């Protein structure tokens, strides 16, 4: 319904703009390369925006100029692309300290527990400054929309002020039903304190992970999102310890949950792999994002693809936590929907989705660079259900980035961008609020 509305709006707006030919209301940007986000690069491309930040036309410069030669022009070197989409950020953990080497999932959870306690001890102004810095860094890195996971909602005001749109997933932890119920009640209180709720940011409840959230709560939250036509999120297959917990519940696996102070003595292992555990709960679905998937198998990739469940990969965090990368090639060969995330703000302080794509490009050189850039733009918007983000299609409002390419224009703009490390980029147009259903 939202996609149809955007198409109708684009058609009517384009026709009206052409009839009026008011150059003060329409801008045409052109560059040697245009990366649309959901299609192949366009050499000598152009894109037209109106003053509301909506795309009116996109294509080769010759094609676009047929109808918009009168528009206010801006000829630029380098390349143009839509704003990036970070499908798994975590701005509230701005206080996390850097660590070197691989630490494993259990130590990582203990570290997060320590960080939360340190953050809670800060005065409100200091906490807000840390969160605000992470949000600003994300915008400076070219991010237009996010799926931000949170326990506190501390980042919501900073996101609204920075014009960073998307979805806030209020994560529910509690390995026993009693603790999960307390977490749900606390979430409702925290949400009620933010009045008015910002436009362009959707609020949804989400289970944290199979090792930290009661099975009944996972089922309830996922089913509620599905019934609403919304998207929710859960971390899955983060490490071998998670497999051990669900398959056997042995002492080593139990310590995974104890490390987060969440152990429930009545827990009984399912004997299934992580995806099987969620399948039994009815939680593998095209509206449930599966985050990390570092220890997933090809057979799990096949099952995710069959369910059309979107996968959100955070490669730099996966490498730090488990010492390996998610099996990207298996995911792509099995036809999975793939998006990218940065995870905790200070763990990857640049908050750069381009750096996440570059990390995968270096680890899997056989994967076309275009595929990775699509995961960083249209793929993230698709996973989050954000119509009009991550693509320069007419009717979209994704924002527009300009990236200079020093020297000659590259023959492979996608590959150049992923090899550039941290390219200079600037906003020509900021994103407008995405099309999405009302918040829960």
CATH of the domain at 35: 2.30.40.10
Q: Running DSSP on this structure, what letter comes out for residue 246?
A: H
Does any domain span residue 435? Answer: no
Strands 288-292 and 55-60: unpaired
Task: Looking at the structure, tell me whether residues 61 and 88 fall in a common domain.
Answer: no
Residue 88 pLDDT: 97
Supply angle C-alpha 313, 315, 317, rounded to 5.
105
Residue 25 pLDDT: 86
Residue 437 pLDDT: 45
Residue 256 pLDDT: 63
Phi and psi at residue 132, in whole multiples of 5°?
-60, -40
Residue 258 pLDDT: 62
Task: Looking at the structure, tell me whether residues 202 and 169 fall in a common domain.
Answer: yes
Does any domain span residue 123? Answer: yes
Task: Looking at the structure, tell me whether residues 407 and 376 fall in a common domain.
Answer: no
Instruction: Work out how many domains the chain is built from and give that number.
Output: 2
- Strand (E) positions, 91-218? 143-150, 165-172, 201-207
Q: Give CA–CA dist 211/214, Å, rounded.
A: 8
Residue 19 pLDDT: 72
* Residue 245 contacts residue 211 (beta carbons within 8 Å): yes
3-state secondary structure the chain: CHHHHHHHHHHHHHHHHHHHCCCCCEEEEEEEEECCCCCCCEEEEEEEEECCCCEEEEEEHHHHHHHHCCCEEEECCCEEEECEEEEEEEHHHCCCCCCCCCCHHHHHHHHHHHHHHHHHHCCHHHHHHHHHHHHHHHHHCCEEEEEEEECCCCCHHHHHHHCCEEEEEEEECECCHHHHHHHHHHHHHHHHCCCCCCCCEEEEEEECCCCCECHHHHHHHHHHHHHHCCCEEEEECCCHHHHHHHHCCCHHHHHHHHCCCCCCCCCCCCCCCHHHHHHHCCCCCCCEEEEECCCCCHHHHHHHHHHCCCEEECHHHHHHHHCCCCCHHHHHHCCCCEEECCEECCCCCCCCHHHHHHHHHHHCCCCCHHHHHHHHCHHHHHHHCCECCCCCCCCCCCCEEEECCCCCCCCCHHHHHHHCCCCCCEEEECCCCCECCCCC
Task: Looking at the structure, tell me whether residues 367 and 424 fall in a common domain.
Answer: no
Task: Looking at the structure, tell me whether residues 47 and 120 fall in a common domain.
Answer: no
Domain-terminating residue out of 384, 401, 416? 384
Q: What token pair was written down for 166?
A: 């998307």
Domain around 351: 84-384
Residue 54 pLDDT: 93
Residue 175 pLDDT: 74
Does any domain span residue 240? Answer: yes
Q: Running DSSP on this structure, what letter comes out for residue 390?
A: S
Residue 329 pLDDT: 98
Does any domain span residue 152? Answer: yes
Task: Looking at the structure, tell me whether residues 54 and 97 fall in a common domain.
Answer: no
Residue 439 pLDDT: 41
Buried b (16+ CB within 10 A) or exposed e, 106-127: bebbbbbeebbeebeeeeeeeb
Name the helix (H) or strand (E) containing 431: none
Cα Rg, the chain, nearest whole Å: 22
Residue 98 pLDDT: 52
Q: Give CA–CA dist 224/170, Å, rounded.
A: 14
Task: Looking at the structure, tell me whether residues 206 and 279 fall in a common domain.
Answer: yes
pLDDT tens digit at each of 440 positions of the chain: 456 666 676 667 777 777 777 778 899 999 999 999 999 999 999 999 999 899 999 999 999 999 999 999 999 999 999 999 999 999 987 645 555 555 777 777 777 777 777 878 888 898 889 899 889 999 999 999 999 999 999 999 999 999 999 999 999 988 777 888 888 999 999 999 999 999 999 999 999 998 888 889 999 999 999 999 999 999 999 988 888 777 776 655 566 666 555 555 656 777 889 999 999 999 999 999 999 999 999 999 999 999 999 999 999 999 988 889 999 999 999 999 999 999 976 567 789 999 999 999 999 999 999 999 999 999 999 999 999 999 999 999 999 999 999 877 788 999 999 998 788 999 999 999 876 443 44
CATH number at residue 232: 3.20.20.140
């Amino acid at each position: 319904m939202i996609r149809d509305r955007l198409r109708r709006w684009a058609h009517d707006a384009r026709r009206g703009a052409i009839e009026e030919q008011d150059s003060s209301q329409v801008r045409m940007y052109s560059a040697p390369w245009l990366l649309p986000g959901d299609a192949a690069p366009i050499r000598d491309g152009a894109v037209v925006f109106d003053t509301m930040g909506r795309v009116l036309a996109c294509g080769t410069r010759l094609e676009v100029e047929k109808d918009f030669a009168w528009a206010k022009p801006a000829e630029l070197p380098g390349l143009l692309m839509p704003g990036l989409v970070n499908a798994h950020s975590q701005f509230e953990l701005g206080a996390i300290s850097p660590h070197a080497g691989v630490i494993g999932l259990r130590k990582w959870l203990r570290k997060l527990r320590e960080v939360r306690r340190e953050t809670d001890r800060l005065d409100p102004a200091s906490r807000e400054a840390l969160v605000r810095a992470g949000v600003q860094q994300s915008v400076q890195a070219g991010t237009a929309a996010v799926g931000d996971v949170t326990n506190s909602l501390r980042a919501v005001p900073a996101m609204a002020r920075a014009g960073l749109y998307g979805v806030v997933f209020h994560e529910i932890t509690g390995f026993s039903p009693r603790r999960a119920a307390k977490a749900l009640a606390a979430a409702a209180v925290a949400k009620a304190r933010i009045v008015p709720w910002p436009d362009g940011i959707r609020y949804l409840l989400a289970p944290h992970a199979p090792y930290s959230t009661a099975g009944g709560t996972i089922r309830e939250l996922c089913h509620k999102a599905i019934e609403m036509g919304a998207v929710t999120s859960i971390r899955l297959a983060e490490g071998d310890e998670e497999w051990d917990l669900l398959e056997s519940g042995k002492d080593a696996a139990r310590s995974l949950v104890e490390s987060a102070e969440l152990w429930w003595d009545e827990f009984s292992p399912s004997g299934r792999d992580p995806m099987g555990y969620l399948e039994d709960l009815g939680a593998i679905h095209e509206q449930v994002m599966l985050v990390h998937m570092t220890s997933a198998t090809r057979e799990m990739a096949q099952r995710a693809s069959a369910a059309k469940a979107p996968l959100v990969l955070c490669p730099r965090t996966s490498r730090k936590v488990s010492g390996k990368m998610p099996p990207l090639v298996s995911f792509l060969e099995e036809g999975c929907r793939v998006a990218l995330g940065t995870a905790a703000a200070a763990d990857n302080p640049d908050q750069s989705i381009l750096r996440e794509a570059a990390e995968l490009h270096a680890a899997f050189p056989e994967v076309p660079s275009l595929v990775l850039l699509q995961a960083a733009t249209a793929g993230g918007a698709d996973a989050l259900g954000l119509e009009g983000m991550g693509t320069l299609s007419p009717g979209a409002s994704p924002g527009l980035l300009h990236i200079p390419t020093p020297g000659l224009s590259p023959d492979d703009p996608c590959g150049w961008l992923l090899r550039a490390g941290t390219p200079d980029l600037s906003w020509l147009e900021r994103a407008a609020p995405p099309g999405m259903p009302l918040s829960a």
